[in-house]
């Protein structure tokens, strides 16, 4: 049977199927199309930050063979996978079939899943530290920071295998499950991550925090840190001494003990802030401490404020059992109410962690080797910072949208590429009333240059 006869037979079958279905006809095309034409915006952002050029200067693992993939392409395509909702290395396979995306980013070809895993498996602790410290340092050097708040936080990432560093430790949601316990430093004013380490699951919150902070100071000048906030996991004399020796202001949640409970019980100088809210302060010096420090106490009536935060410390005492207590230690000279207000703003770091876990795949991209997992984890945070820059410098909305919203509004644009003479042109399928808005985004990207306009209230 000749090809023309075979094609005629297929056409007749096609027409017969259409008649039977009664629905709109369909046809096939070999033209490459993409659902993600809006990623052209992120390509421009990458170019404006020159982050790929910075990567070329760093000791990222290069292939030994000339036939190997350019690691810059591996990293860029990994970021794109994260922005498009990928949360596992297997999800990178989607990029291999999108020829339009490959043209947008000028990738000759997209690596296979195994190429990504081999790339991250080449990272050692020394390579990871050099790459991410210098990469973050160059990134934040292009942001106009005069003073900012640094939030320290840790999280639990559940693991379901026997990966290196996956240990049993504090795990409030799945007790007894192996996990990793990352430590992160957020720049609260920018909603970005300054630094992050992956750690074994049996590590305490404050473990090795001094080396972590010293590395963070290599990324951002400590003279620009106006305030450090941390949860009760960092409560301790050595941590406070470290911050005080660096002339840093801090507010840290207090880890309760019997001595502190008695001191709270003995407190009498309560001031009323609002209906059902009282505040007081007291000096406190643990037996092992060399100095006295200031503690702010907040108590809220459960009767008047059923959703009050804090702990019930005195369940068996009638006059005290109806209160929930929160304690903070600080070296600030501000009023008690102002200290409490400043610390409450730290809750936004919890939102950053949730966003990283559930939208950026921070809890995915896990490999057998510990430092391979850490390298992928820290690369996800670079993708997060780039997206945060896009939100603030390009979208410029008062309420910053989530990645899912950005993906729907900005990235999910049907597209294809045509030839205009020798040049390629990206065609975006956008209704007329949205085109002016998209033109505005491209215009801001065209004008974007360091120092980047972030941390600004629009």
Considering the domain architecture, whether residues 271 and 330 belong to the same structural domain is answered as: yes
Considering the domain architecture, whether residues 327 and 277 belong to the same structural domain is answered as: yes
**Residue finishing a domain among 309, 335, 361:** 335
The separation between CA 60 and the C-alpha centre of its own chain, rounded to angstroms, equals 21
- Which residues are within 8 A (CB) of 273 and not within 5 positions of it... i.e. 6 or more apart? 279, 337
pLDDT of residue 323: 93
Which residues of the chain have a pLDDT value below 50? 458
* Distance of alpha carbon 49 from alpha carbon 143, whole angstroms: 10
Q: How many domains does the chain contain in total?
A: 2
CA dihedral 288, 293, 294, 300 (to 10 degrees): -10
pLDDT of residue 58: 96
Considering the domain architecture, whether residues 108 and 61 belong to the same structural domain is answered as: yes
Instruction: Tell me whether residue 74 is in a domain.
Output: yes
* Distance of alpha carbon 58 from alpha carbon 78, whole angstroms: 17
Instruction: Tell me whether residue 253 is in a domain.
Output: yes
- For the entire predicted model, the pTM comes to 0.92
Considering the domain architecture, whether residues 321 and 246 belong to the same structural domain is answered as: yes
Give the tokens for residue 144: 């106009």
Considering the domain architecture, whether residues 327 and 376 belong to the same structural domain is answered as: no
Instruction: Tell me whether residue 15 is in a domain.
Output: no
**Residue finishing a domain among 282, 317, 335:** 335
**Residue finishing a domain among 335, 357, 387:** 335
pLDDT of residue 18: 65
Instruction: Tell me whether residue 71 is in a domain.
Output: yes
Instruction: Tell me whether residue 64 is in a domain.
Output: yes
> How many alpha carbons fall within 13 Å on the CB side of residue 312?
15
Give the tokens for residue 310: 């804090």
SS3 89: helix
pLDDT of residue 458: 38
Instruction: Tell me whether residue 244 is in a domain.
Output: yes
pLDDT of residue 441: 96
SS3 37: helix
SS3 31: coil
pLDDT of residue 114: 95
* Distance of alpha carbon 392 from alpha carbon 144, whole angstroms: 13
Instruction: Tell me whether residue 216 is in a domain.
Output: no
Q: Which residue range forms the structural domain that includes residue 312?
A: 237-335
Give the tokens for residue 29: 């095309």
* Distance of alpha carbon 255 from alpha carbon 143, whole angstroms: 35
How many C-beta neighbours within 10 Å does residue 234 have? 23
* Distance of alpha carbon 186 from alpha carbon 182, whole angstroms: 13
């Amino acid at each position: 049977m000749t090809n023309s006869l075979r094609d005629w037979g297929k056409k007749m079958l096609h027409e017969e199927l259409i008649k039977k279905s009664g629905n709109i006809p369909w046809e096939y095309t070999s033209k490459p199309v993409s659902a993600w034409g809006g990623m052209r915006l992120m390509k421009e952002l990458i170019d404006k930050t020159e982050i790929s050029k910075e990567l070329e200067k760093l000791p990222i693992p290069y292939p030994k063979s000339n036939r190997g993939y350019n690691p810059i392409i591996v990293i860029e395509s990994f970021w794109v996978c994260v922005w498009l909702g990928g949360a596992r290395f297997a999800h990178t396979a989607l990029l291999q079939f999108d020829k339009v995306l490959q043209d947008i980013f000028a990738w000759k070809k997209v690596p296979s899943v195994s190429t990504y895993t081999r790339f991250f498996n080449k990272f050692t602790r020394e390579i990871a530290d050099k790459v991410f410290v210098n990469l973050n340092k160059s990134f934040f050097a292009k942001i106009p920071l005069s003073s900012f708040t640094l939030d320290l936080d840790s999280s639990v990432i559940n693991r379901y295998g026997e990966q290196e560093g996956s240990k049993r430790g504090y795990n409030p949601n799945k007790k007894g499950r192996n996990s990793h316990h990352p430590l992160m430093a957020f720049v609260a004013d920018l909603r970005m991550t300054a630094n992050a380490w992956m750690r074994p699951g049996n590590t305490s919150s404050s473990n090795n925090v001094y080396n972590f902070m010293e590395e963070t100071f290599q990324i951002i000048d400590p003279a620009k840190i106006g305030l450090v906030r941390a949860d009760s996991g960092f409560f301790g004399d050595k941590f406070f001494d470290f911050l005080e020796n660096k002339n840093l202001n801090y507010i840290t949640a207090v880890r309760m003990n019997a001595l502190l409970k008695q001191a709270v019980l003995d407190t009498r100088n309560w001031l009323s802030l609002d209906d059902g809210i009282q505040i007081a302060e007291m000096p406190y010096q643990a037996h092992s401490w060399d100095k006295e420090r200031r503690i702010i106490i907040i108590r809220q009536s459960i009767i008047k404020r059923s959703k009050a935060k804090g702990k019930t410390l005195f369940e068996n005492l009638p006059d005290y059992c109806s209160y929930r207590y929160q304690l903070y230690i600080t070296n600030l000279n501000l009023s008690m109410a102002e200290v409490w207000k400043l610390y409450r703003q730290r809750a936004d770091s919890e939102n950053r962690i949730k966003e990283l876990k559930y939208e950026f795949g921070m809890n995915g991209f896990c490999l057998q080797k510990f430092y391979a997992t850490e390298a992928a984890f820290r690369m996800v945070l670079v993708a997060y910072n780039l997206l945060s820059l896009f939100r603030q410098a390009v979208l410029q909305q008062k309420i910053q949208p989530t990645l899912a919203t950005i993906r729907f509004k900005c990235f999910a644009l049907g597209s294809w590429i045509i030839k205009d003479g020798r040049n390629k042109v990206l065609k975006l399928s956008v209704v007329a009333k949205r085109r002016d808005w998209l033109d505005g985004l491209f215009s801001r990207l065209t004008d974007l240059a360091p120092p980047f306009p972030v941390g600004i209230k629009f």
